[in-house]
């Protein structure tokens, strides 16, 4: 049995289809206040399974917006239980005074796209039914819901927003998208992807796309190439406000910029592009207590207040 795909230190895929993942340090949920917030794990759909972690700031005095977060990892790795995500999202709930619901969706290659989109959309359906049942959502304002995620999770947030627009039966109102270093692609290479020294980055991205998109698809699959999804003018007109965060040292910066420019061409009403200079891809997960991460959390909080 041989290894057919590998991201060293994170995942190995073998010739028989089996997958071995290497989880970094994880953080347990705690219903005791730590750092100004408490957290607990919830089961969203036990049959799949889909789970989540709720972060609730201490002593909320009024109704709070809800931020639904989708972790990154090329659709193949990652979890809201990872230490970096736990600290980042817990602190974000305090800074933004919001309830954060972070989703653990099913992963590729065992569950290829569009499974992640369907799982994460179902978390909104679950949220809409739990507001009167789950005590931690007692002060959740479902008229102010935001979708966010990093890398593949930013990609997911985009596609979940489109699914929400097409189904107005949900008892939630998506006010904005906050995409951190979003992961998109296409068959056509960009200037940065063709540049000298890019080969190893391109190969790793291609590997994750090959593991996550449906068999017999290519990188022009709608989940990879955002220009390939059939979205009407009417749907673009009601698309929520969007902020795209890119990092100056991130190989995916170019793709994030292209996404923001694409939305502007589609005349989405409110699109912002914010760059963090001298930082790398998903720095907020690797360095959740850094000053750059603190700034990102403040920027996200400001966007939520403005929308």
**pLDDT 10s digits, 73-93:** 999 999 999 999 999 999 999
Q: Which residue has the higher pLDDT, 112 or 171?
A: 112
Active site residues: 151, 250, 281
Q: Is the pLDDT of residue 246 over 90?
A: yes
Banded model confidence at residue 66, pLDDT cuts 50, 70, 90 = very high
| Two structure tokens written together for 93 | 């709930």
**Mean of pLDDT over the chain:** 97
The angle, 0 to 180 degrees and rounded to 10, between the axes of the packed helices 83-96 and 291-306 is: 50
- If you average pLDDT over residues 206-220, what whole number do you get? 97
Do the Cβ atoms of 255 and 192 come closer than 8 Å? no
Banded model confidence at residue 137, pLDDT cuts 50, 70, 90 = very high
- If you average pLDDT over residues 118-122, what whole number do you get? 98
- If you average pLDDT over residues 247-271, what whole number do you get? 97
């Amino acid at each position: 049995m041989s290894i057919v795909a590998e991201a060293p230190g994170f995942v190995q895929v073998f010739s028989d289809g089996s997958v071995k993942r290497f989880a970094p340090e994880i953080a347990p949920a705690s219903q005791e206040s730590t750092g100004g917030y408490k957290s607990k794990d919830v089961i969203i759909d036990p049959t799949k399974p889909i789970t989540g972690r709720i972060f609730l700031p201490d002593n909320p005095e009024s109704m709070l917006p809800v931020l639904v977060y989708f972790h990154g990892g090329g659709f193949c790795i990652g979890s809201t239980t990872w230490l970096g995500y736990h600290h980042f999202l817990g602190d974000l709930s305090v800074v933004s005074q919001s309830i954060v619901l972070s989703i653990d969706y099913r992963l590729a290659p065992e569950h290829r796209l569009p499974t992640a989109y369907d799982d994460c959309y179902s978390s909104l359906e679950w949220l809409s039914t739990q507001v009167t049942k789950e005590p931690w959502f007692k002060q959740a304002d479902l008229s102010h819901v935001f979708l966010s995620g990093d890398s593949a999770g930013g990609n997911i947030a985009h596609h979940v927003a489109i699914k929400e627009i097409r189904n107005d039966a949900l008892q939630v109102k998506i006010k904005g998208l906050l995409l951190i270093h979003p992961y998109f692609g296409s068959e056509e290479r960009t200037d940065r992807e063709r540049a000298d020294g890019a080969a190893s980055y391109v190969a790793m991205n291609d590997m994750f796309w090959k593991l996550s998109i449906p068999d017999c698809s290519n990188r022009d699959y709608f989940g990879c190439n955002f220009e390939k999804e059939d979205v009407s003018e009417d749907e673009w007109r009601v698309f929520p406000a969007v902020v795209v965060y890119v990092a100056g040292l991130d190989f995916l910066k170019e793709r994030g910029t292209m996404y923001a420019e694409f939305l502007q061409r589609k005349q989405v009403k409110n699109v912002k592009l914010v760059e963090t200079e001298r930082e790398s891809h998903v720095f907020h997960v690797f360095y959740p207590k850094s000053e750059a991460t603190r700034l990102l959390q403040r920027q996200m909080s400001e966007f939520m207040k403005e929308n």
